[in-house]
Amino acid sequence: MNKMNRNMRRAAQKNGERLQALPWNDFVDVTEMSHERHVLLGGTTERLPDKVFQNNKYIVQCFLGRTKLGIPVTKAMIRRSDAQPLRSWQEMQRIKNEVFGEEAEAFEMYPKVSELTDVANLYWMWVIDSTIERGVIDG
């Protein structure tokens, strides 16, 4: 269970709003720091992301897996640093290009209602070519 209290959430959102006002910067690999923070806040290590990338505007958590048809993919969970909704195709394309490479192909899927989980402004991208450009995960 995440033990982030109300004051911590407010501080994180305020920091995210400040970061959103800055020009877009490069994504960096923050996997180790992210895993440490997750455990520090009381989370389990049962299903941590395989890789985590972050810039001032977005956080991308990458999970290696397979589709229901058995196709290997990287499932990328994307959220804004200020937790606000994201609805810009151009920014999703830019994230895909910068994290997975310009020639990687990805898709979004909209689930059937019985499988819908909608508790936050999180967006999922399934990357068919699951090689992360920085060479740290090979699919």
Q: Assign residue 22 a region (left: φ > 0; alpha: ψ between -120 and 50; beta: otherwise).
A: beta
CB 125 within 8 A of CB 78: yes
Q: What is the pTM of this model?
A: 0.79
Domain-embedded: residue 133 = no
The answer to the question of residue 33 being in a domain is yes
Residue 25 has pLDDT above 70, yes or no: yes
Q: In DSSP terms, which residues pair with 126 in a beta bridge?
A: 75, 107
Query: Would 46 be classed as within a structural domain?
Result: yes
Share of the chain above pLDDT 90, in %: 44
Q: Which residue has the higher pLDDT, 133 or 108?
A: 108
Overall domain count for the chain: 1
Question: What pLDDT score was predicted for residue 129?
Answer: 64
Q: What is the pLDDT of residue 139?
A: 38
Q: Is residue 122 assigned to a domain?
A: yes
Q: pLDDT digits over 68-102, tens only?
A: 888 889 999 999 999 899 878 999 999 999 999 99
DSSP string, 6-69: HHHHHHHHHHHHHHHTSPP---EE-HHHHHHHHHHTT--STT--SEEEE-SSEEEEEEEEE-TT
- Which structure tokens are listed for 28? 């960096």
On whether residue 109 sits in a domain, the answer given is yes
- Structural domain containing residue 24: 6-127
Nearest 5°: the CA angle 134, 136, 139 is 105
Establish if 135 belongs to a structural domain: no
In the predicted model, is pLDDT for residue 125 greater than 80?
yes
